[in-house]
Amino acid sequence: MRRNGRCIAGLRCSCLLTLAAFFLISPQLAHAQQLDSALVPENPLANTAAESIMVAPTQPPEKPPVDREIAVMGMIQGRDYQLFSATVQCAASGVMVEYDRHSWGYFLHARFDYAAELLPIILLSQPVKSDIWGNALTPNNQLVPGVGIDPIGFRLLWRGNKAIKPYLIGLGGGALFTRKALSPHTSYLNFNIQGDFGLQIRMSDRVELRVEPVELFHISDGYLEPSNPGMDELSMKFGLTYHLAPGKQW
């Protein structure tokens, strides 16, 4: 009986110790399993795809190139007339370099461009002797060289996707001559205003022929000096234009 009682008591102690050890170890095992599940993703392929979507940069859409042109033109000496001026027997010729850029959308069903012009060579033909108002005192003329720039201008270009394109140009700026222009009582510096009508004829994707049968060319000193005879000329221009970045024109 005593042995049986001791065996039962020892068995009870062993069960209690086993239960106590189980309850002490089970939280640690559960925590270790949580760490392992955090280190190993449930679906590696899905996470990799999500990371690649998040890392991939978004590229903004590319803007179409803006059409820009450089034109080299030659102005043929024309005939003077009295519109805003008083001189006769005066005319001008020269070389012009024009820049056109499609900057302002469309107006009157035409492409509305910014235009500017550099005049590296101007040859002004004027009387050798003239009075204060530019009236010739001799039939002989002399050439007065000069340079100019017209930074303010616009161009209206119609039928931009066709082989032949009509256009209108308005330009304004100044011109500087080596002698007083049109009269000995005027200024070396004069204002220049131009109005042109022309045609642009396609020769290739980048090169076009420009013909301006009508150009209104005006110079005057704007009363920088007491005398301001001015000169109005009806002339012609011919040249070539080169597209720097041809884009969609219409």
pLDDT at 1: 47
Query: Which residues make beta-bridge pairs with 164?
Result: 201
Q: Let me know how long the chain is.
A: 250
Q: What is the pLDDT along the chain (250 residues), one digit of tens a residue?
A: 444 445 454 555 555 555 555 555 555 544 545 545 544 455 555 455 545 555 556 676 677 778 899 999 999 988 878 888 888 889 999 999 999 999 899 999 999 999 999 999 999 999 999 888 888 898 999 999 999 999 999 999 999 889 999 999 999 999 999 999 998 889 999 999 999 999 999 999 899 999 999 999 999 998 888 889 999 999 999 999 999 975 544 4
**CA dist., res. 94 & res. 4, Å (int):** 134
Task: Return the sign of the alpha-carbon dihedral for residues 75, 118, 151, 199.
Answer: positive
DSSP string covering the chain: -HHHHHHHHHHHHHHHHHHHHHHHHHHHHHHHHHHHHHHS-S-HHHHHHHHHHHHSPPPPPPPPPPPEEEEEEEEEEEEEE-SS----S-EEEEEEEEEEEEEEEEETTEEEEEEEEEEEEEEEEEESSB-TT--BSSS-EEEEEEEEEEEEEEEEE--TTSSEEEEEEEEEEEEEESS-SSSTTS-SEEEEEEEEEEEEEESSSSEEEEEEEEEEEEEE-TTSSS----EEEEEEEEEEEEESS-----
pLDDT at 54: 57
pLDDT at 38: 47
Q: Report which of 62, 67, 60 is spatially closest to residue 113, judged by C-alpha positions.
A: 67
pLDDT at 80: 79
pLDDT at 85: 84
pLDDT at 134: 85
Please state, in angstroms and as integers, the Cα–Cα distance from residue 185 to each residue in 19, 46, 135, 209, following that order.
123, 88, 12, 41
pLDDT tens digit string along 33-51? 554 554 445 555 545 554 5
pTM of the model: 0.71
